[in-house]
Amino acid sequence: MKSLSVKLSVLFLIFVILLESILFFFLYVGIVSEQIYTETEDLKVRGRSHSNVLEKNFDAVTIKHVALMETEAATVIVVTDENNSIIENSNPVVNSMQQIIDNNQKEFPHPEGEIVEARWRSEPYLATLSPIESNGEVLGYIYMFLPTDIIRSRVQNLTSQFMLGGLFAVILTMITVVFLSHSITQPLIRMKEATKKMSTGFHHIELDIERDDELGDLSRSIQKLSDDLERIKKDRNKFLSDISHELRTPLTYIKGYADILKRPNLTDSQHAEYVTILQEESIRVTTLVTDLFDLAKMDQNEFLIKKEKIELCTFLHEVAAKFRGIAKEKNVTLNVRCDHQIILFVDPQRFSQVLINLLDNAFKHSQGTSTVNVDVIKTGDEVEIYVSDEGQGIPSEELPLIWDRLYRVDKSRSRSTGGSGLGLTIAKEIVEQHGGTIRVESKLGIGTTFIISLKGVK
């Protein structure tokens, strides 16, 4: 579980420590060489200033004086004649000094002085050589010696300080890296756990969605996915229980009336009535199952639309003709007002299914003497088909819900208006598959109007 944070920390740590080591190394080497350079330059300058004095007065008193000046310092001065024989020295000349003096083959060293021993790590003394000249002639030499243990101890000090600083930097880096990787991986781990929970069927999760970065975006997406899943699960359960309820009612009727039919002594008219009820109920079940099957196909995008050219007004009159009988029976006037010559490119069977449902709803909800109108208005390349009735209307808070599967405003299943509540869902799908829209306007006690809009009409 922690492996991502461990990997991140180790990678970060290696990278930063490598970077720090390189920086520390260059800084250390730079400081040490600067220190050595300063020491040797200083030695050369002092040698040069002594030789300046001796060039003016190269006599025993001045030489002694010069040597005396160095006795208190850590450095050692040795003055020799032109043959490298020692004339004077500030401190005792030890073997290693003598060796340097003996090894000097230079008759004319640089007037500003030269370094004759620079190996501060291995040799006991750093040494410079300055000539004492007068009128182009070398009178003698000045050797300046600096004990290298002083330098070595200074470098040692520097090394310990660097080690301490390095250790401090590494600890600080480790703390930073662990903190950083923790703050990045912790939300990721929480998200992983959340998605794992979701995959086991537990859809309600709560993540930190306040973060203002990519991790926050990811959390929000997962949170939305979980909310959607939870909603879908609820919808599915409700849909399933609604379907079973819808099926159970007609099946109960069928079973009940089939039992009654078995009874002896039924009159012919009773027999005929019960058989009619059986027929009606089985038609109801068949319609419900066909509608559900249509919806399932729509959900899987397998619902085929076979478009062809139709003349709208003729088509509407044909559909309306199917309702003439019921119109007469219910004393409802049915008007189709369509004067234009409008060509539509639609699936005639599916499109009539939409109109039949709208007209069926209109008639089901029209009481007493009233009117159902079908009007067509064409503006530019857009056509609108209005199906309106003077029925009881739909309460405004229910209007958005009537498109939902199995939704009925009147929940009790009356035998006269008892549809399954799938008609509008299917109508909406069909219209949308034709690239159109369907909407509703309704006023309680006044009536309801459904409006289908289609574009690209000739």
Ligand X SMILES: Nc1ncnc2c1ncn2[C@@H]1O[C@H](COP(=O)(O)OP(=O)(O)OP(=O)(O)O)[C@@H](O)[C@H]1O
Binding site for ligand X (CB under 6 A): 357, 361-362, 365, 389, 391, 394, 402, 407-410, 419-424, 448
Q: How far is the CB of 443 from ligand X (least distance, A)?
A: 11
How many angstroms separate the first and last alpha carbons of the chain?
64
44/365 with CB nearer ligand X: 365
Distance (Å, whole) CA 356 – CA 52: 123
List the single partner that 226 binds among ligand X, Mg ion, none, CB under 5 to 8 Å by kind: none
Binding mask 351-390 for Mg ion (x = CB under 5 A): ------x---x-----------------------------
> Which residues 6+ apart lie within 8 Å of 131 measured at CB?
51, 108, 109, 110, 111, 138, 140, 141, 142
Q: How far is the CB of 423 from Mg ion (least distance, A)?
A: 3
Strands 343-346 and 332-337 come out as unpaired
185/361 with CB nearer Mg ion: 361
Contact flag: residue 226 with Mg ion (CB under 5 A) = no
Contact flag: residue 391 with Mg ion (CB under 5 A) = no
Q: What is the four-CA torsion angle of 120, 128, 145, 78, rounded to 10 degrees?
A: 160
> What is residue 371's three-state secondary structure?
strand
Considering only 419, 426, 442, 447, the residue that binds Mg ion (CB under 5 A) is 419
The residue with its CB nearest to Mg ion is: 423
The owner of tokens 């000094």 is 97
Contact flag: residue 420 with Mg ion (CB under 5 A) = no
Distance (Å, whole) CA 268 – CA 290: 33
Distance (Å, whole) CA 215 – CA 221: 10
Q: How far is the CB of 192 from ligand X (least distance, A)?
A: 43
The runs of H, that is alpha helices, within 300-375 are 312-321, 324-330, 348-364
Binding to Mg ion in span 329-358, by CB under 5 A: 357
| Size of the residue set binding Mg ion (CB under 5 A) | 4
CB of 412 closer than 8 Å to CB of 339: no
Q: How far is the CB of 284 from ligand X (least distance, A)?
A: 9
Q: How far is the CB of 276 from ligand X (least distance, A)?
A: 19
91/373 with CB nearer ligand X: 373
Print burial letters for 73-90: b (CB count within 10 Å at least 16), e (below 16).
eebbbbbbeeebebbbbb
DSSP track, 169-238: HHHHHHHHHHHHHHHHHHHHHHHHHHHHHHHTT-----------SHHHHHHHHHHHHHHHHHHHHHHHHH
List the single partner that 402 binds among Mg ion, ligand X, none, CB under 5 to 8 Å by kind: ligand X
List the single partner that 391 binds among Mg ion, ligand X, none, CB under 5 to 8 Å by kind: ligand X
What are the backbone dihedrals phi and psi of residue 122, each rounded to the nearest 5 degrees, phi first?
-100, -30
Contact flag: residue 423 with Mg ion (CB under 5 A) = yes
Q: How far is the CB of 387 from Mg ion (least distance, A)?
A: 12
362/376 with CB nearer Mg ion: 362
Q: How far is the CB of 413 from ligand X (least distance, A)?
A: 9
Q: Kindly list the residues in this chain that would bind Mg ion in the complex (CB under 5 A).
A: 357, 361, 419, 423
